[in-house]
Structure 1
């Protein structure tokens, strides 16, 4: 007799709607809060940046981006952030080289110092973005406030909501957050359907994206020359440039433990961060002011005139930006790596276009960003998403999906751009 129970297909049980509905209000609340905090920090940093890089040098009669002023500002930023890390309760969180997008839950007293260090970094010019520390702050706030408001809620839900909400606000769309969360869920033992598990985080991401869009209107389209139907030459260019981006990014990843170890020998934040600022000042003198800051505005400036620089100038900007990212991540500045990696990938793609005129700038930029992000973040979905969202062309996505395969083979199984507390790399 046939065992019908063994032959029956396995079906993943779905969650009833009444079980999902109670998560909507907390998810919306976390989404709005996370978005407001991200936008608030970025606006405050932009205002301070205007004072430091425009008002003050104009009043002193010094060039805004003269070599002397860039050096002074980056060293001064190192001193300011070093004071926060040294003196403010919580020391602005853990060593940023040991933290990725999956943020630890920090105690509430550590969050103000981390926010202050992040705002000073964004305004002062080091090559890091806001994502990692803002996610950490939002996770800490969500766990603290959520635990007080709804004590019976599972504790693990709050970090997922805060991370998704921050990513939704960062990119102005919930798509990137959904991709990241789905990648995280794939590594965990979760029960139920994927969309049931995604429901609350996606709600938070929608709320965060809508809030940021209404307040700040973020946009990532670089408005590069339009790209039509892809051809075989475009496919070859995408594969080669993405692989080159992955290899360059892996050079930074491999160097992280050694550069971090050099700064770690200085032991004190008031030595590590000013020293890092001095190195960043020297790099800025070499690469120019476009290699400063998180890189989003500077990417738009590059894309506005893709033929405005030579291949050598693009190559220098690529290498300097990656070196600045490496130094800033190693010496203790609080910040994320996505936006600097996007700048480096953009400069690499435009360098390929300048070297070989047959490489369409849209193909070069998207493929360069894809390869660079695969190496730096080791997040496949977010790399594809960011590379595709920069270019307003459906045909690019096909090329990127193909180009991601050999690029992924170059990075998978190798060390990541994150260290353990003892300084050894995470794999």
Structure 2
């Protein structure tokens, strides 16, 4: 009697797709990848140039310190007024309430996109603590869906948003690995036809083209240049578990406060009241936390990591709390932006605080696990959190520790409210 084949030897029930069925997706995926990257680079470059003017020559010409308390208030309130005018008057009102939108943005009508791009650029230049990821993904998804339906009407409409999201994530992080991980996480909850790799082929192509375009044009890097961790030992395991869990708990404080802060700003009812009021609060937080707690936070993280000994544990703690509060306010009052980059700053500051308090905590380990726990709480994206934390320190020895540290941190956040709201103001779970 023949024996049943072992499970590992049993043939897969999902057949692989023939090459001829995948080849037609290469060109559209490549076009979407390059286009999404150029859109991201273009918006970022214009915003950076405007930021240099607004926070450099302009206050100098007026005889004001560029990061003085006075100028911080002037710029944050002015940014709130400018973005409020865009949301109020520009067709499409710069898209839906950003508190209700995550990384998987819906496709919007083309008339909405100019206002959304303008509001995002003003926000990035003006200093609120949000990143470009959510609105840029929304713009690229909408453009890809609109153009794809007209230029290639026979292609399934559901393909274009996936390609655009993958391309933009690849462009943001400078590698297609992040895009592949995010898309595979999304596919895990959906019925699939064929093998996982067949389903990832087109998104991975788009992510790779987006990543290589960003790399060739702007040469991004996430490595903070911290000294690499050597062979880990028991104290490193303990430090990873404690730091990631502490960061997740701190992040959950903001998550639980999010619907209440959002509701407080919603009571103002008008963008010309909500956004300037948010600007006032953000200016007060910026004056308290200093210039490093302004803007999206990515370059500011580099300054923190360049010389961790320049700040005390108390200063790191203040910056972490202030930046998290600024992220909470900016995301609640109507500024268009994402939460990943400022959350990275919060996690890195918390990790460096742990190193300053307990020197035995390696700075690279503190930063990586702090970012991991914070991103798990704020984004609820496991792969993005792991990848971003690992990319910041470029230390292979930390990977196993990050995987271990993610377990208790995930238990602290899973099944609880997310930092994203429904239309009625209640949090997603």
Q: TM-score, normalised by structure 1?
A: 0.98
Offset of residue 305 of structure 1: 0.4
- 1:63-113 CA-to-partner distances (Å, cap 9, x unmatched) read 010011001100000000000000000000000000000001100000010
Offset of residue 327 of structure 1: 0.1
1:389 is aligned to 391
Within 5 Å, give how 1:27-106 maps onto structure 2. Answer: 27-106=29-108
Q: Determine which of 152, 155, 167 is the counterpart of 2:154.
A: 152
In structure 1, what is the Cα distance between the partners aligned to 2:216 and 2:24? 25
Q: Determine which of 292, 296, 315 is the counterpart of 1:294.
A: 296
Offset of residue 12 of structure 1: 1.0
1:139 is aligned to 141
Q: Determine which of 371, 381, 391 is the counterpart of 2:373.
A: 371
Size of the alignment, in residue pairs? Answer: 426
Offset of residue 47 of structure 1: 0.5
Offset of residue 128 of structure 1: 0.2
- 1:151-201 CA-to-partner distances (Å, cap 9, x unmatched) read 000000000000000000001110101100000000111111010000000
In structure 1, what is the Cα distance between the partners aligned to 2:138 and 2:13? 37
Offset of residue 10 of structure 1: 4.8
Offset of residue 11 of structure 1: 2.0
In structure 1, what is the Cα distance between the partners aligned to 2:343 and 2:374? 6
4+ residue runs over 3 A deviation? 7-10
Offset of residue 144 of structure 1: 0.6
- 1:396-427 CA-to-partner distances (Å, cap 9, x unmatched) read 00100000000000000001000000000000
2:405 is aligned to 403
1:205 aligns with 2:207: yes
SS of the aligned residue for 1:189 comes to: coil
In structure 1, what is the Cα distance between the partners aligned to 2:380 and 2:387? 13
Q: Determine which of 141, 165, 168 is the counterpart of 2:167.
A: 165
In structure 2, what is the Cα distance between the partners aligned to 1:136 and 1:9? 40
2:342 is aligned to 340
1:282 is aligned to 284
Runs of at least 5 residues in structure 1 that lack an aligned partner in the other structure: none
Q: Determine which of 126, 133, 149 is the counterpart of 1:124.
A: 126
In structure 2, what is the Cα distance between the partners aligned to 1:188 and 1:339? 28
SS of the aligned residue for 2:378 comes to: helix
Q: Determine which of 391, 395, 418 is the counterpart of 2:420.
A: 418
Runs of at least 5 residues in structure 2 that lack an aligned partner in the other structure: none
In structure 2, what is the Cα distance between the partners aligned to 1:410 and 1:336? 23
Within 5 Å, give how 1:225-244 maps onto structure 2. Answer: 225-244=227-246
In structure 2, what is the Cα distance between the partners aligned to 1:10 and 1:378? 31
SS of the aligned residue for 2:38 comes to: helix
1:308 is aligned to 310
In structure 1, what is the Cα distance between the partners aligned to 2:101 and 2:267? 20
- 1:222-248 CA-to-partner distances (Å, cap 9, x unmatched) read 001222111111110010000000000
